[in-house]
Amino acid sequence: MGLLGVVALFNGNPDVLALVGKLLESAGFGVVSALIPDVRAGRCDVNGMMRRHDPAVVVYDIAAPYEENWAMFQQLRATAMRDHRRFVITSANPARVQRLAGRDERIYEIVDQPLDLDNIVHAVKEAARARRFIPGNSRESSNVTAMPDRRHADRRQSQWTSNDIYQKLREKREEMEFERRRFGRRATDRDHGPSSHAA
C-alpha cells in the first residue's frame, strides 16, 4: 500500500480526512483513515486497524475541546498505538496543543491544519525516516517537538499537490472560521432580541 509505507490518518472532518488522504497518497504513501467521532463511539476498531496495516506514522487531529481530545489521544496511544510509531499532530490551534504535548518524544511535529498541506506531508516523510521506515535514512531518530516554519523549505512537494485540494481546503477553512465567529458572537452578543432584526 504505497511505496513509502502506510500512514494512519485520524480527523473529525470527513472532507479534510479525504483530501489530506489523497495528498499523502499522491506523495507515495498508503493511507488508512478513520473519523475521530467513530473512534470515540467505538465504531472503529483501532487495535485491528493498527495490527492489519502497521502504519509507520499516525497523523492525528486535536480539535476543541483540546484537553478532552488530548486525553483521548493519550488513551489511544497507551492501548492501540503502543508500538514505536511516530505521530504528526494537526490542529487548528497548534500552540495550545504544543503546550499540552510538552516534550513528548514520540510526537514528531505539530502542524496547523487544514491549510498547512506541505508541512503535513513533509512532517510525515521526516517522521517515517526517523522511524527508519524509509530506506536511506541517515538519522537514528528525531525528537522534534516544535512547529518549525517550513512553508518555503521544500517546494518539491508542489508537484504532487493539487489546486483542487488547496481550493477545497480553503473553502472548508473559511466555512469553519465563519462557524467559529458565528458561535462566538452568539455567546457574547446581547443584542439578538426581536427588535434587532426589524427591517
- In 3D, which of 135, 80, 81, 122 has the Cα closest to residue 104? 81
In this structure, the number of other CB atoms found within 10 A of the CB of residue 62 comes to 27
Mean local confidence (pLDDT), 179-183: 67
Q: What's the pLDDT tens digit per position in 6-50?
A: 999 999 999 989 989 999 999 999 999 999 999 999 999 999 999
Return phi, psi of residue 87, to 5°.
Answer: -125, 135
Q: Is 125 within a domain?
A: yes
Mean local confidence (pLDDT), 66-77: 93
What does the DSSP 8-state code read for residue 194?
G
Q: Is 196 within a domain?
A: no
Q: What's the pLDDT tens digit per position in 145-179?
A: 333 333 333 333 334 445 556 566 667 667 777 76
Look at residue 169 in the predicted model and tell me its pLDDT: 67
Number of domains in the chain: 1
Q: Is 1 within a domain?
A: no
Q: Is 199 within a domain?
A: no
With vertex at residue 124, the alpha carbon angle to CA 10 and CA 109, rounded to the nearest 5 degrees, is 85
Across the chain, what does the average pLDDT equal?
76
Q: Is 101 within a domain?
A: yes
Q: Is 193 within a domain?
A: no
Q: Is 197 within a domain?
A: no
Q: Is 194 within a domain?
A: no
- In 3D, which of 117, 127, 101, 140 has the Cα closest to residue 6? 127
- 27 lies in which domain range? 6-188
**Which parts of the chain fold into alpha helices (H)?**
14-26, 36-40, 46-53, 66-79, 94-101, 117-130, 163-188
d(Cα 86, Cα 130) in Å, to the nearest integer? Answer: 8
d(Cα 119, Cα 121) in Å, to the nearest integer? Answer: 6
d(Cα 101, Cα 117) in Å, to the nearest integer? Answer: 21
Cell triple for 165: 485540494
d(Cα 199, Cα 183) in Å, to the nearest integer? Answer: 23
Q: Indicate which CATH number applies to the domain containing 173.
A: 3.40.50.2300
d(Cα 40, Cα 37) in Å, to the nearest integer? Answer: 5
d(Cα 148, Cα 146) in Å, to the nearest integer? Answer: 6
